[in-house]
Amino acid sequence: MSKKSIINFSQLQAEPIWLQERRLAAFDNIDTLKFPNIERVKFHRWNLGDGTISENEAVANVPDFTALGNNPKLVQVGTQTLLQQLPADLLEQGVVFTDLTTALEEIPDVIETNLGTALAFDEDKLAAYHYAYFNSAAVLYVPDNVEVDLPIEGIFLQDSDSAVPFNKHVLIIVGRNAKVSYLERFESIGNASVKTTANISVEVIAKAGSQIKFSAIDRLGTNLTTYMSRRGRLDRDASIDWALGVMNEGNVIADFDSDLIGDGSDANLKVVAASSGRQIQGIDTRVTNYGRNSVGHILQHGVILERGTLTFNGIGHIVKGAKGADAQQESRVLMLSDKARSDANPILLIDENDVTAGHAASIGQIDPEDMHYLMSRGLKFEEAERLVIRGFLGAVITEIPIKEVREEMISVLDTKLDKR
């Protein structure tokens, strides 16, 4: 690891001085900062980055673009942008959805003002590593008062035959009283022949009165060890509805956080996850209520197969001064193997009176009575089991705005079940 490699990369990308300086400041903090606190997940000895920053890599595996729809979208493979698709009417309204280099040319002041406001470069060791070494990025900007009717889709593919670390930054800025539905995919493609790492940060900046529906399906591969951070920063009366499908194959720690800065802001997080094989996934979902009458709800459902491990940490924090705030959470895990391991940890931190808060958590196996009822109606055991699992995870899956993606998530889950 060296400052010289960071400076060389930054100059090759024609980055502004302020971004280069932020990278160097992050580099200086890596060794002194602590790892993020993910309760009951022992990840500190995982290889989460080797301190290299690479120039643009060649694309060996190209997706089939003929299967993609006509909705607005951006497709990146590794460090390369392969497709941008944005209708003329959105361009005329000032919507931007492109790579960071292009966005810095089109809306430089917007980028400088907002990059790092949801996740600070010096928050922890992995955040500092990310800002020093992220090698590709995307920006979605929706100006004030613009309502986007079609779902906007970001497709970010990791080439599993490449040794280049998958260090991606996604910055989403939704202006005052604007409205957008965004779908995000992180997926590995290729033959999974190379082991490498991923450090991914997604920042969502919701300005006052904005409404965001954020859906995601993560399908990163077996040989990828991943740190995934999704952060929301919500101003007054802003809302983000999160629907996140964590369907990876490799070891993952994920940090899904919403900071309710403004009065009346609202974050609703729904997370569905599946672990299989010997895979370890630790998911930390947090809502921090800063604003008065802010509302933060967390719903997490997970399924574990074989020797998989899945940990849900649900954290609701109401800070001093957030009167009238509401923090609710529910984490439930369904175990389909006696060799599986799971934790569901509800954590409430309440520093204010005149608030509403509650939590629920459970870990268990499929109810035999449910299975008996379905099988008494003529279903085979495997069919009945699939129906119970789909019903258990349906609270999140039904929130995905695009039908094809809902069907894809069910298909991924079925594939995991078939591998047993």
pLDDT in tens, the chain (420 residues): 689 999 999 999 999 999 999 999 999 999 999 999 999 999 999 998 877 776 666 676 777 776 777 889 999 999 999 999 999 999 999 999 999 999 999 999 999 999 999 999 999 999 999 999 999 999 999 999 999 999 999 999 999 999 899 999 999 999 999 999 999 999 999 988 899 999 999 999 999 999 999 999 999 999 999 999 999 999 999 999 999 999 999 999 999 999 999 999 999 999 999 999 999 999 999 999 999 999 999 999 999 999 999 999 999 999 999 999 999 999 999 998 889 999 999 999 999 999 999 999 999 998 889 889 999 999 998 888 888 888 888 877 887 777 777 888 888 888 877 777
Residue type at position 242: W
Say what the pLDDT of residue 402 is: 73
Say what the pLDDT of residue 53 is: 77
Say what the pLDDT of residue 91 is: 97
Q: How far apart are CA 415 and CA 420, in angstroms?
A: 9
Say what the pLDDT of residue 193 is: 84
Say what the pLDDT of residue 404 is: 74
Q: Which of 62, 35, 64, 37 is nearest to 49 (CA)?
A: 35
Residue type at position 24: L
Burial class (CB in 10 A: 0-12, 13-18, 19+), 381: exposed
CA dihedral 403, 409, 414, 417 (to 10 degrees): -160
In what side-by-side order are the strands of the sheet with 179-189?
Answer: 80-85, 73-77, 152-159, 179-189, 211-219, 239-246, 266-275, 295-304, 326-335, 356-364
- pTM equals 0.95
